Amino acid sequence: MSQSFLANKLFYDLRRSPARTTLEIKIDREGQLVVVAPIEWPMDLIERSVEEKRLWIYTKLAQKELLFRPPKPKEYVSGETFHYLGRSYRLQLVKGHPLRRTVPALRLEGGRFLLRIDERDRAHQHFVDWYINEGSPWLQRRVELWSRRIGIAPPAADIMELGFRWGSCGRKGNLSFHWRTLLLPPRIIDYIAAHELVHLHEPHHTPKFWRRLERAMPDFFERKQWLAENGGRF
């Protein structure tokens, strides 16, 4: 159970844990400040401890804000770069043809994204739809591969808009991934998939969670660090 507090202009979620003997302060994946305290700690001790870490907290929050700063809006003009599975492709605007109305509004062909110029006003949605339609089968295969390595039945993997989260593990065992995940290199997508799959065993980021992830993916920390340092570009 968690409670929200505002102390000296710091808004945080306080969680009590019988497993803790010291205070833990962290920034979760959504950029929320979380304080995990031993059950018996009084509030005045918790507030003093949070205050002592104020500089560290502001530094981490600033880093998180920089990491998740919205990318520069796309203009959808010829020559602009778009990513798919870690590779970059140039966009080329092409004319539609009155006798070929079945030509898709957006397609990847000859090493370029081709966007019909008459569909430019709806370009963002066309890209989102393209990533979901083209990327879903690929991502589902990766989820099935990693589920076998982790030792669980492969769940369904949906691609959607997830705000500032790369992936999410639902209570019913289903996985969801941000459509922007498909922009990342495959080995980083594999890390996100494996990370969410391990959550089906271990809901929280306990030492047991990280040990289980490491058994399936020994270099997970290297991939995790790459995502932390480079994910904001995508």
> Tell me: the pLDDT tens digits for 144-173?
999 999 998 888 888 998 877 898 887 777
| Token pair 């660090």 in the structure block, residue | 225
Task: Determine the Cα–Cα distance for residues 147 and 141; give it in Å rounded to an integer.
Answer: 10
pLDDT in tens, 76-99: 999 999 999 999 999 999 987 655
CB contact at 8 A, 5 and 33: no
**pLDDT for the residue numbered 7:** 61
Sign of the torsion formed by the C-alpha atoms of 145, 146, 151 and 154: negative
User: What are the structural domains, with CATH classification, of the chain?
Assistant: 2-67 (no CATH), 81-126 (no CATH), 127-233 (3.30.2010.10)
**Mean of the per-residue pLDDT values for the chain?**
85
Residue 63 confidence class, pLDDT cut points 50, 70, 90:
low
Whether pTM > 0.75 for this model: the answer is no
What SS3 state is found at 209? helix
Would you mind telling me the total number of residues written for the chain in this entry? 234
**pLDDT for the residue numbered 168:** 86
Q: Tell me the pairing of strands 10-17 and 2-7.
A: antiparallel
Highest mean pLDDT among 127-131, 219-223, 230-234: 127-131
If you average pLDDT over residues 111-132, what whole number do you get?
Answer: 95
Residues 6+ apart with CB under 8 A from 93: 76, 77, 78, 115, 116, 117, 120
- 48-62, 114-128, 193-207: range with lowest mean pLDDT: 48-62
Task: Determine the Cα–Cα distance for residues 139 and 21; give it in Å rounded to an integer.
Answer: 40
If you average pLDDT over residues 201-222, what whole number do you get?
Answer: 88
Residue 5 confidence class, pLDDT cut points 50, 70, 90:
low
- 38-47, 120-129, 205-214: range with lowest mean pLDDT: 205-214
Residue 3 confidence class, pLDDT cut points 50, 70, 90:
low
- 14-18, 135-139, 140-144, 225-229: range with lowest mean pLDDT: 225-229
User: Residue 113's beta-bridge partner residues?
Assistant: 91, 108
Q: Name the phi and psi angles at 46, rounded to 5.
A: -65, -45
